[in-house]
């Protein structure tokens, strides 16, 4: 019952904790108010919360050592990356606040990209046990 891939369990637990923590934080950020209030709400409801929920389900699959957990992790990270990178860039250009939400969004995009690279490694798709 022990995966052979280095970093499997820390990444699984980190993903679960990050996604559970993200659910209430997304709500706080979404209803923060101006500027970009409509963009915040629409991104939270359409992409951020669904990505966090898919990430929680992916972490559950990874803890059960199921291959579909890897696929869901890739989907959840792709969803999060597709929201955080463009949002961070647009907010940085329009609002010019690199120390607050736009900077945080760009850092999260980088972390999601690194996690996506980890879960896309060929070792996760071999015909052996995880």
pLDDT tens by residue, 44-55? 889 999 999 999
Give the per-residue pLDDT at 35: 76
Cβ neighbours of residue 1 under 8 Å, at least 6 residues apart?
Answer: 65
103 vs 78: CA distance, rounded Å: 19
Top pLDDT among 4 and 45 is at 45
Query: What is the per-residue pLDDT across 48-93, written as a single tens digit (0 to 9) for each?
Result: 999 999 999 999 999 999 989 999 999 999 999 999 999 889 988 9
Question: Token digits for 116?
Answer: 């996506």
Contact indicator for 56, 22 with CB cutoff of 8 Å: no
Domain limits, the chain? 8-122
For the segment 99-126, the average pLDDT, to the nearest whole number, is 90
């Amino acid at each position: 019952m022990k995966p052979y891939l280095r970093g499997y369990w820390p990444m699984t637990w980190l993903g679960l904790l990050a996604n559970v923590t993200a659910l209430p934080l997304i709500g706080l950020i979404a209803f923060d108010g101006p500027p970009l209030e409509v963009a915040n709400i629409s991104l939270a409801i359409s992409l951020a919360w669904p990505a966090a929920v898919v990430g929680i389900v992916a972490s559950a699959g990874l803890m059960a050592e199921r291959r579909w957990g890897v696929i869901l992790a890739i989907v959840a990270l792709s969803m999060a990356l597709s929201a955080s990178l463009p949002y961070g860039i647009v907010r940085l250009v329009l609002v010019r606040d690199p120390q607050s939400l736009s900077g945080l969004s760009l850092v999260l995009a980088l972390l999601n990209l690194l996690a996506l690279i980890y879960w896309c490694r060929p070792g996760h798709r071999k015909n052996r046990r995880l």
